[in-house]
Amino acid sequence: MRLKFNIYLFIILFGIPTIVFSQNTDIDILKPINKNESAFKNSYFKLNADAVTPLSIGIPAGLAITGFILHDKKMKQDALYMGAAFLASTLVTKSVKHIVNRQRPFAKYPFIVKRHDTEAGLSFPSGHTSAAFCIATSVSVRYRKWYVIAPAYIFATSVGWARMYQGVHYPSDVVAGALVGAASAWIGYKAQKWIAGKKDQKKKVTL
């Protein structure tokens, strides 16, 4: 468990920041994504980005409420795990944002079109992408069905693409956000399994 946490810290503190310094590559990839505006893309990507927070809160809350109504212990545990993973990914994302202190693309490059009504804020990593991949990974490790996993990651990928199309994040911001979100969910899942195993061992000893 400790080894997995150390690997997570290594990715955050050493692996991810190296992406930031490839500024030319970042902007070269971003420019074509940010161009070619259409009404459909504006609506579709706005819908994706706007759905992140309601889903991040709504899915754990829905599971918790259903679990209490049905007296389903697994649902309540899933709700707790998913909520904790979301909070962890949010905390890491906000902390790294302030450490790296990177401007948003539209604030630095006048040719980047801003299509999202957001404050200037900080760019690296992408909070929306982090939350979306945290949701996708949390749901996927708990409900391992293709019809759950595929839509979850299609949604998360669409959110990352939306944030670039909207001119508020670089590709490296999105990649970093995806890593943070997925890692938070995965480590949270492993931690929950480890705690559950310890509890089972304790019960066997007392019996």
pTM, two decimals, is: 0.85
Say if residue 14's pLDDT is above 50.
no
Average pLDDT, the chain: 85
In this predicted model, what pLDDT tens digit does every residue of 127-136 receive, in sequence order? 999 999 999 9
Average pLDDT for 11-29: 65
Give the contacts of 200 (CB within 8 A, at least 6 positions apart).
none
In this predicted model, what pLDDT tens digit does every residue of 157-185 receive, in sequence order? 999 999 999 999 999 999 999 999 999 99
- Alpha-helical runs (H) found in 101-170: 105-108, 127-142, 146-165
Closest CA to 88 of 189, 197, 173, 14: 189
CA–CA dist 133, 10 (Å, integer) = 19
- CA distances from residue 60 to 54, 68, 115, 130 in whole angstroms, order as listed: 10, 12, 30, 16
Domains defined along the chain, listed by start = 40-200 (1.20.144.10)
Q: How many CB atoms lie within 10 A of CB 181?
A: 35
CA–CA dist 148, 135 (Å, integer) = 11
Ranges 123-127, 143-147, 167-171, 203-207: which has the least confidence: 203-207
Closest CA to 10 of 180, 167, 147: 180
User: Cα–Cα–Cα angle for 113, 103, 157, nearest 5°?
Assistant: 65
190: left (phi over 0), alpha (psi -120 to 50) or beta: alpha
Please state, for a pLDDT cut of 90, what percent of the chain lies above it. 66
